[in-house]
Structure 1
Amino acid sequence: MTREVGKTQDVGYEIGVSKTLPYPASVVWEFLTDDDGLAVWLGPGAELGREKGTPYRTDDGTEGELRSWREMDRVRLTWRPAGWDHDTTVQVAIRASGEKTMLRFHQEWLADGRERERQREHWKAVMDAVVAALREEPSDD
């Protein structure tokens, strides 16, 4: 029996999008966790606390709560856009490799294959927006 693409035994449907960026981990992490970066990947108006269980809500009605915050490593949270009837889990993680950094968005507990494909497009667009925003960041040089 073959398993459907993106469907797991443990966390339903999932999707991951990753890219190696030409910036040190500190630059990527600082951007992802400041107000401008949060607006890019989580949504405008998002304010994300650092304590487990802290709720958040974006201007477009996406809401959830922080599950974990590991400095310079990952942020894990629940994520439910307005109009959805279920929570999903999103993890944003970085991994340093010299002066480059791998950035990964991973989402679990998606309802079905169609939602998985929509979210693949969403996170690809978010990745493109993060890359574009980082290009515009002033350098310390």
Structure 2
Amino acid sequence: MAKPVGKTKDVGFQFGLQKTFPISEPKAWDFMFSDAGLKIWLGELVKSLELKKEYRTKDGINGLVRVFKPNSHIRMNWKKKEWENMSTVQVRVIGKGKNRTLISFHQEKLTDFNQRAEMKEYWNEKMDKITKEIKKASR
């Protein structure tokens, strides 16, 4: 029997999404961690993100910032309010040349194929919004 899409040996189900944008790495990082950028991909925060501190959004997403490396990535526990499980999300900003930067989302510790499908839809929607905002800003 074939292994289900996204099933891992150690961390349950996972999903990853990446896209390269025509923007410098510093501009991409600044956007992703600005209030406007955070509101798109994480939600409106009740208080600012801090390393080793819990966070919560007004929509009920909560977790703990585990790793925060400026101009590189953030890794955090991530849980929707209606979930019983806690997942892990990593967001990376990787320079690919003078004005090319890859933005990626990776989520693991999802319970099953259905939760993976839910998050695939969620992150694709977030990436579409990021794309629109970056296009708008570069006009």
TM-score by length of 1: 0.91
Aligned residues: 138
Deviation digits for residues 33-84 of structure 1, max 9, x if unmatched? 1111111100123544332x21111111111110100111101101111111
TM-score by length of 2: 0.93
Runs of 4+ in 1 over 3 A off after TM superposition: none
Q: CA RMSD in A?
A: 1.5
**Aligned partners of 2:106, 2:12: CA distance in 1, in Å?**
13
**Aligned partners of 2:45 and 2:55 also within 8 Å:** no
Q: Match of 1:64, SS?
A: strand
Q: Please state how far the C-alpha of 1:100 moved relative to its aligned partner.
A: 0.3
**Aligned partners of 1:39 and 1:46 also within 8 Å:** no
- 1:1-141 aligned within 5 A: 1-45=1-45, 47-51=47-51, 53-98=52-97, 99-137=99-137
Identity of aligned residues (%): 34
The one-letter amino acid paired with 1:59 is: K
**Aligned partners of 1:35 and 1:47 also within 8 Å:** no
Query: Could you say if the C-alpha distance between residues 138 and 125 of structure 1 is closer, same or farther in structure 2, counting changes exceeding 3 Å?
Result: same
**Aligned partners of 1:60, 1:75: CA distance in 2, in Å?**
20
Q: Please state how far the C-alpha of 1:138 moved relative to its aligned partner.
A: 6.6
Q: Match of 2:11, SS?
A: coil
Q: Match of 1:77, SS?
A: strand
**Aligned partners of 2:80, 2:114: CA distance in 1, in Å?**
16
**Aligned partners of 2:46, 2:101: CA distance in 1, in Å?**
24
**Aligned partners of 2:120, 2:9: CA distance in 1, in Å?**
19
Q: Please state how far the C-alpha of 1:137 moved relative to its aligned partner.
A: 2.7
Q: Please state how far the C-alpha of 1:94 moved relative to its aligned partner.
A: 1.5
